[in-house]
Amino acid sequence: MPMESNVSCGVLSSRDQVLAEVKKIVAEHSDLAASEIQEGHRLIDDLGCDSLDVVEIAMEVEEEFGIDVPDDLTDNSQTVGEVVEGVVQLLRQSQAGD
Amino acid sequence: MTKRTQPALDYRSVELDGMRYVILRESAFELLCGKARLGTRVAPPNEATAAPGLDLDRASLAEKLVRRRRAAGLSQAELARRAGVRPETLNRIERGRTTPDFATVRKLVVAMNAAEHERLTVSTSTQNDKETSHADGE
């Protein structure tokens, strides 16, 4: 792992930042604290979110990262890790577009 | 002649999407199927039940939406109009009869947030008006 982080430090650290931020947002809609939330947790099944929570999480993510979260990402992201991946990709796309 | 008391069959019933279902112990169900000489098979998941946790989600979502709508000071019809959702659809969602997709929930959330924001703005500006008129009066 340390080897990898040397190679792509910027990308890794930004993914970690995204993960930390997403955990914080998700924690507000969940019974778990941000520190207890893991990437493999499913929003609806493991964290007790309902679809209203999921939509609000998506909207808070948009505000936090300044991106538009398309509906299909909301539909397809079941776990915290999948949300993070989606955000990282959207951030990359928006940076590439700049 | 002594009457043998029949063992009672405990069950509950629920209504989902206008259909009534009976919930009973699996052992009782198997017993009944055995008596009726019916084979059992688990129905393959259909689209409506494929997403895990959906039925539970529907009830809690309905409750939360109604609470949020009232907090935003909107009638069902008004929210439907603002969100661009058919009133019948919103009615079904709020009664837990249907599970909306994320796009629909999102339209509702956006409309409710906007209404809440308007209310806050209006109440603040009304307060400001009062303060202004009060100041004018002095």
Q: What is the pLDDT of residues A10-61, one digit of tens each?
A: 455 589 999 999 999 999 999 899 999 999 999 988 898 888 899 999 999 9
Best probe of the A interface among B102, B107, B108, B117, by most A CBs < 10 A, is B102
pLDDT band per the 50, 70, 90 thresholds, residue A3: very low
Q: Would you call A9 helix, strand, or coil by DSSP?
A: helix
Q: Kindly give the pairing relationship between strand B19-24 and strand B11-16.
A: antiparallel
Quote the CA–CA distance of B95 and B97 in Å, as a whole number: 5
The answer to whether A55 touches A74, Cβ cutoff 8 Å, is yes
pLDDT of B5: 61
Looking at the domain assignment, is residue B5 inside a domain? no
Tens digits of residue pLDDT in B21-75: 888 888 888 888 888 877 766 655 554 444 444 555 677 789 999 999 999 999 9
pLDDT of A2: 45
Number of structural domains (chain A) is 1
Looking at the domain assignment, is residue B2 inside a domain? no
Q: Do B33 and B59 share a domain, yes or no? A: no
pLDDT of B6: 62
Q: Would you call B31 helix, strand, or coil by DSSP?
A: helix
Query: CB contact, 8 Å: A20 with chain B?
Result: no
Q: What are the tokens at B5?
A: 């008391």
Q: Do B28 and B67 share a domain, yes or no? A: no
Output A1 or A17, whichever has higher pLDDT.
A17
User: How large is the ipTM?
Assistant: 0.73
Q: Is A51–B65 a contact, with Cβ atoms under 8 angstroms apart? A: no
Number of structural domains (chain B) is 2
Q: Do B74 and B110 share a domain, yes or no? A: yes
* CATH classification of the domain holding A90: 1.10.1200.10
Q: Do B83 and B129 share a domain, yes or no? A: yes
Q: Is A56–B109 a contact, with Cβ atoms under 8 angstroms apart? A: yes
Q: How far apart are the first and last CA of chain B?
A: 98
Q: Do B62 and B115 share a domain, yes or no? A: yes
Q: Do B81 and B130 share a domain, yes or no? A: yes
- Write out the residue range of the structural domain in which residue B35 sits: 10-40
Query: CB contact, 8 Å: A55 with chain B?
Result: yes
DSSP A70-98: -HHHHHH--BHHHHHHHHHHHHHHHHHH-
pLDDT at B91 over 60: yes
- Write out the residue range of the structural domain in which residue A37 sits: 2-97
Quote the CA–CA distance of A66 and B65 in Å, as a whole number: 26
The answer to whether B26 touches B13, Cβ cutoff 8 Å, is no
Q: Do B86 and B31 share a domain, yes or no? A: no
* CATH classification of the domain holding B132: 1.10.260.40
Element (H, E) at B22: strand B19-24
**CB neighbourhood size of A57 (10 A):** 24
Looking at the domain assignment, is residue B132 inside a domain? yes
Looking at the domain assignment, is residue B73 inside a domain? yes
Looking at the domain assignment, is residue B98 inside a domain? yes
